[in-house]
Amino acid sequence: MPKPPLATLLDAVLFDLDGVIVDTAHLHFLAWRHVAEKNGLTLSKAQNESLKGLSRMDSLKMIYTLHGLPLPDASTLEAMATEKNHWYVDALKTLSAKDILPGVLNLLETLRTHHIKTAVASSSKNAKTILAHIGLQDAFDTIVDGWSIEKSKPDPEVFLKAAERLHARPEHTLVIEDALSGIQAARAAGMCVLGVGSHEQLGVADAVVLSLNAFHLEDFVQRFCPNKGER
């Protein structure tokens, strides 16, 4: 029996932004380290891994948690988050199409060929700015970012909202993530999920690849996505 077309098994693919489409993790790290040191704290690269996928405010709370310190007052936290964002947004000006991660453009072309809808689903409030810098602002059917949601990952809101906009069934939606909190959010949404990065860190995903260059969409969909439910 011939395999069914991909579009009968997969309604949509939701892309996280940082670490999946473009890597701005180093810019986030430098910005957070700048703010931390200005406030008498430190932030190592290892500690920065704990901030992946978190909102600005949750990232600040994590930094204080890592130091075992009580949180400052709300106005101080807001000022720190604002300064971090100003530093980060200024650094984003260095981004261009050359910073698109390997495999992204080929995968988008494959999805267009199979008439599968796409979205960026990110907690970042700078998602549209980043996409504009790298020339992908019109490459997706919709963008759900930090301005569109109330709860950050691991809450599934960002993915459920993206699927709703695309009229996609969660059980026939694929999420591509590089952070554990994002994978947990995709699981909570009832979606199949691909991790991009280390299997040691992201092994709870359905599958993990080091790069989207190593991702075979047809094989993944046939193996995992049909098992999430029947039409």
pLDDT 10s per residue in the chain (231 long)?
Answer: 455 578 888 999 999 999 999 988 889 899 999 999 999 999 998 898 888 778 889 999 999 999 999 999 999 999 999 999 999 999 999 999 999 999 999 999 999 999 999 999 998 889 999 999 999 999 999 999 999 999 989 999 999 999 999 999 999 999 999 999 999 999 999 999 999 999 999 999 999 999 999 999 999 998 988 665 443
Q: How far is CA 227 from the centre of its chain?
A: 23
What are the residues whose beta carbons fall under 8 Å from the beta carbon of 182, sequence distance 6 or more? 16, 53, 153, 154, 175
pTM of the predicted protein model: 0.83
Which sequence positions are flagged as catalytic?
A: 16, 18
The hierarchical CATH code for the domain 25-92 is: 1.10.150.240
List the chain domain ranges.
6-23+97-228, 25-92
- Name the CATH architecture for the domain at 6-23+97-228: 3-Layer(aba) Sandwich (3.40)
Beta strands in the chain (DSSP E): 12-15, 117-121, 142-144, 173-177, 192-196, 207-209
